[in-house]
């Protein structure tokens, strides 16, 4: 949706911008949202003796003191219960070299997602992905219902990072942040 220029001016009378077909167009809305470039993460957890993981780009830092981060999960996601009931999660910030994992962890069964993926187990028993640009070990702090998603807020207990180009996602395409000289 493009804002009518008048809608930005405080001095003009409050007249609604002209309605267009695009105003109600879901695809157009998603396209506008896709203007906002992000990094890409794979969030993992351990629940009912199984490893769970999903690709997620809604990750963000919330608070430095205490150290809180958030991401949001679709309420219909097959791993919704695992992430909201397991008590914690690990955020792996993907490096550019891990682009294939972004696709692998967005589809398929749990077994397919972890198949052939180099992985280490943290003290929490959750999986972290070696080669990630960073990882953050979190205990669940708060769940906030928000429409068709739930915002998952975690308190960071441990983290690590390395200087490697990170995977980026913009306009529905993967690319990179940084250079090999990083
Ligand atoms: C780049 C990218 C970012 C994504 N970000 C999120 C996200 O922030 N939250 C979410 O719920 N799903 C996100 N998804 C979709 C999930 O990864 C995907 O729906 C989920 O793994 C599918 O699980 P299910 O079909 O087993 O429910 C993203 C997918 C991709 C490719």
For position 14, what pLDDT does the model report?
Answer: 47
β-bridge partners, 138 = 89, 156
For residue 50, tell me if it sits in a domain: yes
- Report d(CA 169, CA 89) in Å as an integer: 22
80 C-alpha vs ligand 1 centroid, how far in Å?
A: 11
Whether the pLDDT of residue 20 is over 90: the answer is: no
Which residue ranges have their beta carbon within 6 Å of ligand 1? 40, 54-58, 71-74, 77-79, 102, 106, 169
Domain range for 105: 39-177
For position 129, what pLDDT does the model report?
Answer: 97
**pLDDT tier for residue 21 given thresholds of 50, 70 and 90:** low
For residue 65, tell me if it sits in a domain: yes
For position 17, what pLDDT does the model report?
Answer: 52
For position 116, what pLDDT does the model report?
Answer: 93
Q: Ligand 1 atom closest to Cα of 74?
A: 11
- What are the pLDDT digits (tens) for 112-153? 999 999 999 999 999 999 999 999 999 999 999 999 999 999
For residue 20, tell me if it sits in a domain: no
For position 8, what pLDDT does the model report?
Answer: 32
Query: Whole-prediction pTM value?
Result: 0.88
74 C-alpha vs ligand 1 centroid, how far in Å?
A: 8
For residue 61, tell me if it sits in a domain: yes
Q: What is the CATH number of the domain that holds 136?
A: 2.30.110.10
Mean pLDDT over all residues of the chain? 89
For residue 11, tell me if it sits in a domain: no
Sequence-distant contacts of 74-80: CB under 8 A, at least 24 apart: 74/148, 74/149, 75/148, 75/149, 75/150, 76/148, 79/45, 79/52, 79/53, 79/54, 79/110, 80/150
For residue 182, tell me if it sits in a domain: no
59 C-alpha vs ligand 1 centroid, how far in Å?
A: 12
For residue 4, tell me if it sits in a domain: no
- What are the pLDDT digits (tens) for 68-107? 999 999 999 999 999 999 999 999 999 999 999 999 999 9
Count of domains observed in the chain? 1
For residue 30, tell me if it sits in a domain: no
């Amino acid at each position: 949706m493009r804002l009518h220029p008048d809608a930005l001016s405080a001095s003009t009378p409050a007249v609604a911008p002209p309605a267009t077909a695009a105003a109600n167009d879901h695809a157009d809305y998603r396209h506008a949202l896709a203007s906002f470039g992000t990094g890409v993460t794979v969030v993992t957890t351990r629940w009912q003796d199984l490893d769970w993981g999903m690709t997620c780009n809604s990750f963000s830092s919330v608070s430095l003191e205490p150290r809180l981060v958030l991401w949001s999960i679709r309420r219909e996601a097959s791993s919704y219960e695992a992430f909201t009931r397991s008590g914690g999660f690990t955020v792996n910030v993907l490096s550019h070299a891990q682009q294939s994992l972004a696709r692998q962890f967005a589809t398929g069964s749990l077994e397919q997602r972890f198949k052939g993926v180099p992985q280490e187990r943290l003290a929490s028993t959750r999986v972290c992905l070696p080669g990630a640009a960073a990882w953050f070990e979190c205990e669940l702090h708060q769940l906030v219902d928000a429409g068709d998603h739930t915002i998952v807020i975690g308190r960071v207990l441990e983290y690590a990072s390395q200087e490697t180009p990170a995977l980026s996602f913009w306009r529905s395409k993967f690319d990179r942040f940084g250079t090999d000289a990083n």
